[in-house]
Amino acid sequence: MIPKEVIACLRELNEAGHEAYLVGGAVRDLLLKRDVHDYDIATSASPQQIEAYFKKTFRINERFQTVSVHLHTVQVEISTFKGTSLVEDLQARDFTINSLAMTASGDVIDYTNGQKDLQACILRAYQPDIVFQADPLRVLRAARFISDLGFSVDDQTVRACIDALPLFSTIARERIAHEWLGVLKGTHKGEAGSFLQYIHLEQVLPSLRLNETIYQYLHRLSSVVWDTDERAWAEYSVLVGSEHVISSFPVSNQLKKQVKQRYGFFQERQRSNWTPWMLYRAGVSVAFDVERMRQGRDWPSLSRTQLKEAHDELAIHSKDELAITGADLLEQTAAKPGPWIKEKLEELEKGVVEGVLENKRACLLKQV
């Protein structure tokens, strides 16, 4: 069901004399009875007219003439028709299942047989030779939709994907990272991997380190849900055997740090059970992600409850709880400040966590 705010937005444009339709993924997911996360409207109105009709707006794409409109709890992206009409707009989209439109009253408009392809679970481009040359990233979008929906790709579209591969050097790395993450987070990763192996994506994206072994692992772990960005990248890092695979993509430093943490603790966990010091440094959330990574590989794993109980039993849970500070060390030793302070505090911190030292100032000062 279309949210009332989106219906009101469509009617506002209609009453002003403009064509306006809900389009793309929202229509597809409504027909598939899936949760809809993004609402896009295509209209005959210009960006200036759209901005005049609504109070809270933000121009987000000058090239594609898109305006973001905030309607209470719903955000809608409204774009002027690409081309001269709705027909041209829909026919130029990536796949027929995304080339559907819906009126405010819920009627579906389908110029490309998208509903038929949706029922047949097929990814097909209406003008494959044109749309993939116009934006070769759509090759990875095909893989993302395969991973997410489990659809197959029709032969003509596959050939167009192969023909577009030489253009991959023109694609911004952040766009590649976004689509690749979608591939990893789907529950049909194996099918997506088979498609990418068939078209030989590894030849144009060597930074992903894809090879026959990785494709096989994607198949083996296909149905395991890698639900967060950090877990998906960490899982893939383990597959390729390197925490640095994410480094060649312009993602946030925070995400890189989280991936490195999970990768590192996964390797430690392979060598031993959780020790108090390991669990203290990892924290429950990271440790649980590591255990889920093990569980997905059918290896013995611990539950979040077990990890939390073990973590709760630790003598301290952060260095702020340590009964001694760097100032105490300086006062006790009269030595000059330096790296030794951090090293000594970590030594004491580890002793407390492992139960070797009591977390009392006097006790800890005796170790200095």
What residues contact 174, with CB distance under 8 A and at least 6 apart? 249, 250, 251
Looking at the fold, whether 332 and 297 belong to one and the same domain comes out as no
290 located within any domain: yes
Looking at the fold, whether 108 and 11 belong to one and the same domain comes out as yes
Q: How many domains does the chain have?
A: 4
User: Domain of 340: which CATH number?
Assistant: 1.10.246.80
Using only C-alpha atoms, the chain has a radius of gyration, in whole angstroms, of 27
Domain boundary among 119, 148, 181: 119
pLDDT at 61 over 80: no
Separation CA 233–CA 257 (nearest Å): 11
Looking at the fold, whether 28 and 13 belong to one and the same domain comes out as yes
239 located within any domain: no
83 located within any domain: yes
Looking at the fold, whether 216 and 284 belong to one and the same domain comes out as no
pLDDT band at 55 (very low <50, low <70, confident <90, very high): confident
Looking at the fold, whether 342 and 263 belong to one and the same domain comes out as no
243 located within any domain: no
Residue 338 burial (10 A CB sphere; 0-12, 13-18, 19+): exposed
pLDDT band at 121 (very low <50, low <70, confident <90, very high): very high
Looking at the fold, whether 110 and 183 belong to one and the same domain comes out as no
Residue 97 burial (10 A CB sphere; 0-12, 13-18, 19+): buried
Looking at the fold, whether 6 and 53 belong to one and the same domain comes out as yes
Domain boundary among 89, 119, 149: 119
72 located within any domain: yes
242 located within any domain: no
Structure confidence at residue 64 (pLDDT): 65
Q: Are 93 and 123 in contact (CB under 8 A)?
A: no
Residues of the domain holding 90: 1-119
Looking at the fold, whether 134 and 221 belong to one and the same domain comes out as yes
Average pLDDT of the segment spanning 165-183? 96
307-345 pLDDT per residue, tens: 999 999 999 999 999 999 999 999 888 788 899 999 999
Domain boundary among 97, 119, 141: 119
Residue 60 burial (10 A CB sphere; 0-12, 13-18, 19+): exposed
Average pLDDT of the segment spanning 42-66? 87
| Mean of the per-residue pLDDT values of the chain | 95
234 located within any domain: no
131-167 pLDDT per residue, tens: 999 999 999 999 999 999 999 999 999 999 999 999 9
236 located within any domain: no
Looking at the fold, whether 178 and 69 belong to one and the same domain comes out as no
pLDDT at 62 over 90: no
Judged by average pLDDT, the poorest of 49-63, 103-117, 298-312 is: 49-63
User: Domain of 158: which CATH number?
Assistant: 1.10.3090.10
Q: How far is CA 73 from CA 3, 50, 68, 141, in A?
A: 10, 19, 13, 28
Looking at the fold, whether 86 and 172 belong to one and the same domain comes out as no
Looking at the fold, whether 163 and 192 belong to one and the same domain comes out as yes
Looking at the fold, whether 274 and 328 belong to one and the same domain comes out as no
User: Domain of 93: which CATH number?
Assistant: 3.30.460.10
Q: What is the DSSP letter of 146?
A: H
